[in-house]
Amino acid sequence: MTVKVKICGLRRPEDVDFANRLRPDAVGFVFAAGSRRRVTPTEALALKRCLAPGIVAAGVFAGDSPEAIAAVVASGAIDAVQLHSADGDEERIAALRALVPGVPLVRAVKVRTADDLATAEASSADLVLLDAGAGGGVPFDWRILAGHPFSRPFWLAGGLTPENVAEAVRFARPRGVDASSGVETGGFKDFAKMQQFIAEARK
C-alpha cells in the first residue's frame, strides 16, 4: 500500500499552487492560536477554493470549542478535523460527531512513552496521528513503536524531512506521513523540499 502524504501549515496562495502541482493526499490549515502558520477561517476558505479536487483539506485545532470548529466545517474551508491538545478528549470528539456527522476526525497524540500509545490506541477518532509535539522539528523515538506494536492504522508526524521520511516509513510502517517545518525554508513552504518529501515517502 502506498503511503499517504499530508503537507501541513499551508498559508499562502503559492503554497496551494505547490500542492496542486505535487498532489499530496492532504494538506493542513492551522487554526491553533499562537502558531506562526495560523490562518483565519476566511483565509482558509479562499485557499481551499484554489485547492485541486481530490486533495483533502484538514483543519488543525487546539483550544477551539466544538461549535467554533463546526462553523469552519460548515463554511466549506475544510474537509476533516485534526484535534490537538485538550481538543482530543472523548467528550469533545463526541460533541463534534453530533455537530459535524460524517466529517473525519483525527486525534493527534504527542508520543513520549508507551502510555501515550495506549491513549492513541483507545481513541474513538477515525484516525490517530502519532506526533512529536507542536512543530518542534524533532521526531519522537520511533523505537517506542517497536517495543509496543500499534494495532490500528496511524499517521506519523513530527520532525519528518525529505532526508528521514523514507527511514520513518520503513521503520514505523505508518498509513501516512505528515510534514510541516521539514518542508520549509526560512519559515515558508519550499517547493523542492515538498517534492522530495512526497517522492521519498511514496517510493
Catalytic residue positions?
8, 131
CA 172 to CA 144: how far, in whole Å? 10
Label residue 104 exposed, middle or buried (CB < 10 Å: 0-12, 13-18, 19+): middle
d(Cα 180, Cα 35) in Å, to the nearest integer?
12
What are the two backbone dihedrals, phi and then psi, of residue 68, each rounded to the nearest 5 degrees?
-65, -40
Reading the block at residue 174, the C-alpha cell is 505508518
Helices (H), the chain: 13-22, 41-50, 66-75, 90-99, 114-122, 143-147, 165-172, 191-202
